[in-house]
């Protein structure tokens, strides 16, 4: 076994991508969605003038706190990601038209995916990490955007940028800088290093 039987690992998220990353790495983990009003927290962070790095950690902290109250004995992993392009924060697109609007706004430009990750146990934060992979989207034609939105359908709405890098979204880019898993929403290398240091994984 690569993983100790105790403490249990809980992902404070309903994100299939994050859960998939953890399980693909061989971790035994359960997922519990945290009832947090992310839109309200983001609005508050913007109103207070917080940088996206602090906002992402604040959102992750809120999720971890909520689940850790129910599962204090577990190592609760929570993460959030904010897409930032030329000072604008992007939210998940509401429909196909919004996906197309996102792609037009990002076309030919660089953007960052700002990640905040925290781990809680016994009601307190014991680890946090932040990073921000940088992606450069190639200029997109209207014909490509229309074809892409039709091909991806509902799946495109589950990503803040309107793309899945692990799917056809890879066709959108000309350059990518950063850890692949961090782009998908969970920086695995620093998280795995923490779990080894904490004795959860074999060193």
Nearest to 173 by CA among 86, 91, 113: 113
What are the domain boundaries of the chain? 9-197
Question: What does the DSSP assignment read for 25-47?
Answer: TT--EEE------HHHHHHHHHH
Q: Is 121 helix (H, G, I), strand (E, B) or coil?
A: strand
Q: Which one from 6, 37, 39, 80 is the annotated catalytic residue? A: 80
Q: Is 80 a catalytic residue?
A: yes
Helices and strands per DSSP (H, E), number in the chain = 7, 8
Nearest to 86 by CA among 144, 50, 134, 48: 134
Peptide bond into 113 cis (omega under 30): no
Question: Does residue 80 contact residue 187 with C-beta atoms inside 8 Å?
Answer: no
Q: Could you tell me the fold of the domain covering 9-197? A: Maf protein (3.90.950)
The structure's pTM equals 0.92
Nearest to 66 by CA among 77, 82, 55, 50: 77
Taking CA atoms, 99 is separated from 23, 86, 94, 162, 179, in Å, by: 29, 18, 8, 5, 24
Tokens of 182: 């961090």
How far apart are alpha carbons 10 and 4 in whole angstroms? 14
Per-residue pLDDT of the chain (203 residues; tens, 9 = 90+): 789 999 999 999 989 999 999 999 999 999 999 988 888 888 888 889 899 999 999 999 999 999 999 999 999 999 999 999 999 999 889 999 999 999 999 999 999 999 999 999 999 999 999 999 999 999 999 999 999 999 998 888 888 889 999 899 999 999 999 999 999 999 999 999 999 999 999 99
pLDDT tens digits, 144-175? 999 999 999 888 888 888 999 989 999 999 99
């Amino acid at each position: 076994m690569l993983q100790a039987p105790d403490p249990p690992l809980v992902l404070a998220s309903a994100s299939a991508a994050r859960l998939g990353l953890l399980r693909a790495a061989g971790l035994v983990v359960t997922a519990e969605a945290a009832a947090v009003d992310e839109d309200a927290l983001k609005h508050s962070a913007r109103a207070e003038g917080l940088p996206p790095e602090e906002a992402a950690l604040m959102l992750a902290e809120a999720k971890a706190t909520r689940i850790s109250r129910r599962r204090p004995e577990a190592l609760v992993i929570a993460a959030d990601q904010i897409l930032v392009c030329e000072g604008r924060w992007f939210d998940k697109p509401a429909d196909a038209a919004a996906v197309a609007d996102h792609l037009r706004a990002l076309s030919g430009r660089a953007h960052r995916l700002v990640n905040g990750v925290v781990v809680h146990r016994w009601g307190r934060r014991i680890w946090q990490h932040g990073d921000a992979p940088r992606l450069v989207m190639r200029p997109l034609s209207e014909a490509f955007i229309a074809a892409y939105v039709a091909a991806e359908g509902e799946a495109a709405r589950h990503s803040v940028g309107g793309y899945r890098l692990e799917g056809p979204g890879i066709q959108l880019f000309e350059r990518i800088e950063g850890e692949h898993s961090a782009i998908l929403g969970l920086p695995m290398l620093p998280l795995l290093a923490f779990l080894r240091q904490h004795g959860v994984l074999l060193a």
